[in-house]
Amino acid sequence: MKNRQKTKSKFKYFIISFVLTIFASLIFAFENPNFLYEKGFFFLAYFSYIPVLFVVHNSSVKNVWFYGGLYGALSYFFFAYWLINYNSLCMIIACAVYFIILALVFLLLKYVDLVFVKSAWLVQFLIIISYEYLKTLGFLGYNYGVTAYTQWNFIPVIQIVDLIGVFGLNAIIVFPSFVIYAIIQKSLDKRFIRFQKDTDNSLYDCDTHINYVSKYDRALEFSSVKTPVILLCVWCVIFSITFSYGYFFKKDYSNNRQMTVAAIQHNENPELNGMTENLKNLKTLMNLSDEAKGMNPDIKLIVWPETAVVPSIVNNYKSDNKDKSAFVEDLLAYLNKRECSFVIGNNHVVKENNLLADYNSALYFENRKALYPPEPEIYSKMHLVPFSEKIPFEGKLKDYLLKNGSFIFAQGTEYVTFNKDGMIFSTLICFEDTFTDIARKNVKNGARCFINLSNDAWAKEASCQYQHLAMAVFRSVENRVPSIRSTASGQTCIINPDGSIKQMAPAFCKTYVIDKIPVIEQHRKNTIYTLTGDIIAAGYCILTGVLLLIKTIVVIIVNIKNRNKNG
C-alpha cells in the first residue's frame, strides 16, 4: 500500500512539473515577439520564472536536470521556430545546445535550493541573471531571449539603459518572478509546518514535544515572508524611479542639425541565386532608390541591405568575368549620376596570400567620389554567425551545412567609422547590433549613428524580424544615438536615440523609409553605459561565483565535522 501511494505521489509530481515546464517555455516564447503577436506580450516577462522555480523546488536532484533540459529545448523551439525555415539542422542544434545548458542551470538552481534554504531564491535570482548575460558571450553568444529585450516597446522603462545597460535593466525585469515565488513558497511552507506542528501535539508527551516545538519554530523562522515582502516594496520603488527617469527626463534632439536619409527594403527571395537574380535585385534597388529620391530630393544618404549586391564590386571591376564586370559597370554608372551617398551591403572579395577571401561587408560610396576604379570605404563584419557564416571544424557536418545555405566568410578585424557631412556613423551588419559591446566600442571609436544592414528574409517570419529589431532599439538607447535599419524584408526603420520607432516599412514588400535623423555632435559626452559597459553584469556574475564558492566550502566543512562527530 505504501509503495503504491509513493508511486502515485511521484507520478503526480511528475505531471505537475511536466505541465509547469511546458507552461514556462510558452511564457518565455510569448513574452517576446511571437507568431500570435509580433510585438510580444511584454508584461509576461515580470512573472516568467515563477513556474521554473516551482519545478526546481519540487523536483529531486535525480530528475531536475531533465526538466531543465526540456525547458531549454522547448523554450527555444517555440521562440525561434523560424530557424526551421533556414535549416532544420540548425533548429536541432539550437534545441540540443539549450537542452544541455538549461539542464546544468537547473541542477545549479536545485543545489542552491538545498544548501541556502532561507536565501535560496535570492541566489537563484543571481544565477539566472548571470546565465542570461553569460550566454551572450563568446563564439556561440546568442542574445535572443534575454528577458529585458521584451520591454523594447515600453519606451519610458528602457531609458535607464543609458546608465545601467540592458543587463542592468534585466535584473529589474527578472526580479519580480523570484520575489513573488518566495512569498508564495514561504507561505505554503508556513502552512505545511504549522500543520505538522499541530499534528505532533497529539503524538508526543510534553517533555518530548518541547524539542519538536523548537524545531518547528526554527523552520517557521526560515519560512518568514517578511524579507521578500520588504524587497518587493524596494523593487516597486526602484521600478518607479526607472519609469520616472524615462518619462520625465526626456532628451530632446529637435535642436540638432537634421539629415534626411532613406533605407531601402527590396524584399529579395533568399532561395534564388545566380546572375539573373542578382541583376533583378539590382534593378529593384535602383528603382526604389530613385523613387525615394524623387519623393524627397533632400535625401543625403541611401542605405541598401546586407549583401544586397552579391558580386564583389571591387574585385569584379573590369574583371575577366564579363557578366560580373558588366554588372559592376552598371552599378557604378548609376552611382555616378546620383546626388547622394550610398551605403551598400556587398559580398566583398579580397586577395590574401594568393587566395580569395569573402567578406560580408558594408561599402560606403561618397557622392560621386572614387568610383573609377571603385575605392569605397569598407567595413567587414567582425562577429560572424556561428555555423552559418563561420564553421569552426571540418567534416561531414560542415559539408552538410555548406550544401544547405551556410556560406563561410572571412572575419573583419577592425572597427570603422564613416563621415557623411559631419554625421559620423558605423555600420553594424546583421546580428552585430544584438551585441552590446560591438555597438559601444563603435561609439567610443567616434560613431554617432548606427546603420544596420540586415537580411532576415530566410526566416520568412515577422516575429524573427521583430525579435531582431527589439535588440537594435536598445543599442540606440544605451549609447543615445539614432539608428537606420535597411533590411531585405523587414523591419526597415529609423530609430530615435530614445528607442522610439520614427518610421517603419511594412514587412515582406518592396519599399523604403525616408526621414530625418538628428546629427549628434562629435564632442558630445558619451553615456555612462558607453563608458562603463556591462560592468553591472560582470559584477553580479562575480558575486554569484563568490557566494557559491563560500557556501560550498562551508557545506564541505560542516559535512566533515559531522562525519568526525559521528565516526
Q: Go through 445-466 and write b for each residue having 16 or more CB atoms within 10 A of its CB, e for each that does not.
A: eebbbbbbbbbbbbbbbbbbbb
Give the Å distances, CA to CA, from 530 to 130, 165, 362, 523, 533: 20, 9, 24, 14, 6
Active site residue 464: no
Give the Å distances, CA to CA, from 501 to 145, 155, 421, 476, 504: 21, 10, 24, 11, 7
Active site residue 509: no
Select which of 340, 430, 464, 493 is catalytic.
Answer: 430
For residue 270 the three cell numbers come to 533568399
- Beta pairing, strands 423-429 & 418-420: antiparallel
Radius of gyration, alpha carbons of the chain = 28
In 3D, which of 416, 415, 422 has the Cα closest to residue 300?
A: 422
CA angle 461/462/468 to nearest 5° reads: 105
* CA–CA separation, 565 and 553 (whole Å): 18
In 3D, which of 405, 404, 396, 429 has the Cα closest to residue 415?
A: 429
> Which residues lie across from 345 on neighbouring strands?
362
What is the helix (H) or strand (E) element at residue 392, kind and residue range? none
> Which residues lie across from 360 on neighbouring strands?
347
Select which of 306, 366, 389, 478 is catalytic.
Answer: 306
Give the SS3 label for residue 177.
Answer: helix
For residue 38 the three cell numbers come to 509580433
> Which residues lie across from 362 on neighbouring strands?
345, 379
Active site residue 430: yes
* CA–CA separation, 41 and 31 (whole Å): 5
Select which of 135, 186, 324, 381 is catalytic.
Answer: 381
What is the helix (H) or strand (E) element at residue 48, kind and residue range? none
* CA–CA separation, 437 and 414 (whole Å): 14
In 3D, which of 63, 47, 44, 52 has the Cα closest to residue 21?
A: 52
Residues 6+ apart with CB under 8 A from 283: none
Q: Are 259 and 301 in contact (CB under 8 A)?
A: yes
- Beta pairing, strands 341-352 & 301-303: parallel
Active site residues: 306, 381, 430
